[in-house]
């Protein structure tokens, strides 16, 4: 701990006993009052400090802020997207307490080999409407799955609330199924915009800065809270639990199961680098680019 910072991990009774050994006989309520007086509260460490800093991080954050302002002013949607950690289906232990009439018994080991299935929650947070739509994949979290998830979200949700959209801005991390250095994702993205007929602009958060993606702190902690203690015996139970995600600030949630087999190891065509239609920005092109629908006959 830092020098000069008061801290203790003792319980209230242990603190009262320690004070008694020094000649101060106080009750637990008095200990509580003393802690409050000296501004000592129960706190946990926060994972806030990056162990590395990319030299272009500040430039990219400023660019993302400009893009968000431009899209919001034009009435175009801005989605923060990411895949939450996978969850296993089966009678496996999950941390948390729930109100129940009897104790729920689970397997005494929660090894993935004992699972009956797996789900990959791919989520889209609409910053303007404070709504999150979650697609649950039941295969693998691949680039093809990510683009199919984008397509479903737009067809099910996006085009209803943004009927006059000329371009979609997606804010995402630099890794995973939508990694900034994955040509297979860019190839799938080209097929996606041809399917939707709408331009999609991608802006990646810099390396080591994924926690600044809005979905990470505005949505995922609340999804975790909504699912605490719930045993995912089936995909339907997971859907029901995640659908209850909400906040006092008005966050709403919809959940959909996205079936389909998405095998790992898929790659872009060998000549894709020569035929790629992705339009990269002049400024920080590795993190900023657009997929534009192909014109008929081209």
**Residue 100's pLDDT is what?**
86
Nearest Cα to 262, choosing from 91, 86, 126, 133? 86
**Residue 39's pLDDT is what?**
85
Which residue positions in the chain have pLDDT lower than 50? 296-298
Distance between CA 199 and CA 292 in Å, rounded? 5
- Note the residue count of the chain: 298
Domains parsed from the chain with CATH numbers: 11-43 (no CATH), 57-291 (3.30.420.10)
Q: At 95, phi and psi to the nearest 5?
A: -65, 145
Distances (CA, A) of 265 to 82, 117, 140: 20, 20, 10
Q: At 255, phi and psi to the nearest 5?
A: -135, 140
What tokens does 209 get?
């800065």
**Residue 51's pLDDT is what?**
61
Q: How many CB atoms lie within 10 A of CB 153?
A: 24
The answer to whether 139 touches 261, Cβ cutoff 8 Å, is: yes
**Residue 297's pLDDT is what?**
42
- Residues 6 or more apart whose CB falls under 8 angstroms from that of 26 comprise 16, 19, 20, 34
**Residue 40's pLDDT is what?**
86
């Amino acid at each position: 701990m830092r020098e000069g910072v008061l801290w203790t991990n003792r319980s209230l009774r242990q603190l009262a006993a320690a004070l008694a050994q020094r000649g101060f006989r106080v009750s637990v309520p008095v200990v509580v009052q003393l802690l409050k007086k000296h501004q000592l509260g129960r706190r946990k460490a926060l994972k806030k400090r990056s162990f590395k800093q990319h030299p272009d991080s500040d430039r990219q954050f400023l660019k993302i802020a400009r893009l968000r302002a431009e899209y919001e002013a034009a009435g175009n949607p801005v989605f923060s997207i990411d895949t939450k950690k996978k969850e296993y289906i089966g009678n496996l232990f999950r941390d948390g307490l729930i109100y129940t009439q009897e104790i729920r018994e689970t397997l005494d080991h929660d090894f993935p080999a004992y699972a009956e299935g797996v789900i990959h929650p791919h989520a889209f947070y609409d910053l303007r409407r404070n709504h999150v739509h979650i697609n649950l994949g039941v295969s693998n979290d691949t680039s093809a799955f990510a683009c199919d998830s984008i397509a479903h979200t737009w067809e099910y949700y996006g085009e209803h609330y943004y009927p006059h959209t000329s371009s979609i801005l997606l804010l995402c991390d630099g890794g995973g199924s939508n990694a900034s250095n994955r040509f297979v994702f860019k190839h799938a993205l080209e097929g996606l915009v041809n399917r939707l007929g709408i331009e999609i602009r991608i802006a990646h958060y810099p390396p080591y800065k994924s926690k600044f993606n809005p979905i990470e702190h505005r949505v995922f902690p609340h999804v975790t809270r909504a699912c605490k203690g719930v045993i995912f015996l089936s995909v339907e139970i997971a859907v029901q639990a995640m659908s209850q995600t909400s906040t006092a600030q008005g966050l709403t949630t919809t959940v959909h199961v996205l079936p389909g087999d998405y095998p790992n190891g898929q790659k872009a065509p060998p000549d894709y680098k020569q035929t790629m239609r992705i339009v990269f920005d002049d400024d920080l092109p590795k993190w900023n680019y657009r997929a534009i629908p192909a014109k008929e006959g081209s």
